[in-house]
Amino acid sequence: MNNMTWIKGRPSPYELHDLTHFPDWRNLIVWDAFINNLASGLMVIIALTGLATARVFGVLLPYALILAFIILATDLFLLIADLGDPWRFLHSLRVFRPTSPLSVGVWALTGYAVCLFLAILTTWLPAILGVPHAVGLHMAMASRMFTTLAALCAAVVICYKGVVFSCTSQPGVKDARWLTAFMVSDSLLMGCGLYMCFAVCLGAAMANAWLMVPFHILLLFRFGAFWLLWLDVAPRARRVHRSNAFIFVMVYIVGGIIAAALACKGGQPGILAAGALVLLTGLCERYWIIGLTRPL
């Protein structure tokens, strides 16, 4: 055995190449990450705005909850398809391990889905069934409670997604210390952008006036978080991608400056365009991030 490779200052064979196998992450995992972040970010924005300014967002809340549930159901379908066996998701619910990001994420995602479903029921049943006023008040309180619980679970889901990617030990993401911070800021921005588009479609101009400030603040957070993420993965990105200019143009120009200008000066069509650009940028970011795991 040649012990010279273990001498201090000389690299061992294990340091000369990536040990982990390429997980063959393609379109499915990209869309899972995108829709998961979108569903979670939207839920947090719905809860924060609905609870803070019910007078403005109360008309949007019942329909927004249904939209969030549809997106969440799509994410659950993609996640189970990615696992390859639906029973693997159910098996992970048998035991709760607080030290396991995957276990925490699966339980949070399940809690999110259950609480969101109950929030929809308690929101819509009084109007559909025509219950007495006293019962309606209790149902409204239950709706606010389940909406808050769903948002808390959604916040955990956002955080777990970045941690799970970092825990995979895959080259390109295993050293991405700022990946979770980036996904949190990006998820909230995409959720805010989608909610603005939703408000335009339902004719809630006042809601967009309230959302304009957080939208631009979240844009700034995306700028900073992406730059910190870039500092972590730059060496790998330069080796894997032929050019990284495209992703910088998308983040800082197309999904940043142009989206901000359209939201401010473009009226209702501009808000729709700004939301679409923010979502498109989020999808491109995830293709770029998952692309970092490709073998060299």
Q: What is the pLDDT of residue 54?
A: 74
Looking at 8-17, 32-41, 126-135, which range is the least confident one? 8-17
Q: Which residues contact 150 (CB under 8 A, 6 or more apart)?
A: 43, 47, 111, 112, 115, 116, 119
Q: Do 108 and 150 form a contact (C-beta atoms < 8 A)?
A: no
pLDDT tens-digit series, residues 203-221: 888 888 889 999 999 999 9
Q: Whole-number mean pLDDT of the chain?
A: 83
**What Å distances lie between residue 112 and 89, 146, 226, CA to CA?**
15, 9, 27
Q: Do 292 and 233 form a contact (C-beta atoms < 8 A)?
A: yes
Q: Do 47 and 147 form a contact (C-beta atoms < 8 A)?
A: yes
Question: Shortest CA distance to 287 belongs to which of 71, 31, 20?
Answer: 31
Give the rounded percent of residues in the chain with a pLDDT score beyond 90.
43
Give the rounded percent of residues in the chain with a pLDDT score beyond 70.
81
Question: Shortest CA distance to 201 belongs to which of 293, 80, 64?
Answer: 64
pLDDT band at 90 (very low <50, low <70, confident <90, very high): low
pLDDT band at 26 (very low <50, low <70, confident <90, very high): low
> How many of the other CB atoms lie within 10 Å of CB of 127?
11
pTM score, two decimals?
0.85
Q: What is the pLDDT of residue 172?
A: 72
More confident residue, 159 or 41: 41
Rounded to whole angstroms, the Cα distance separating 226 from 219 reads 11
Q: What average pLDDT score do residues 117-146 get?
A: 83
pLDDT band at 198 (very low <50, low <70, confident <90, very high): very high
Q: What is the pLDDT of residue 1?
A: 45
The structural domains of the chain, with segments of one domain joined by +, span 26-291
Fold of 26-291: Formate dehydrogenase/DMSO reductase fold (1.20.1630)
pLDDT tens-digit series, residues 146-159: 999 999 999 988 88
pLDDT band at 50 (very low <50, low <70, confident <90, very high): confident
Q: Which residues contact 60 (CB under 8 A, 6 or more apart)?
A: 50, 195, 198, 199, 202, 204, 207
Rounded to whole angstroms, the Cα distance separating 208 from 196 reads 6
pLDDT tens-digit series, residues 232-260: 889 889 988 888 999 999 999 999 999 99
Give residue 260's identity as a one-letter amino acid code: A
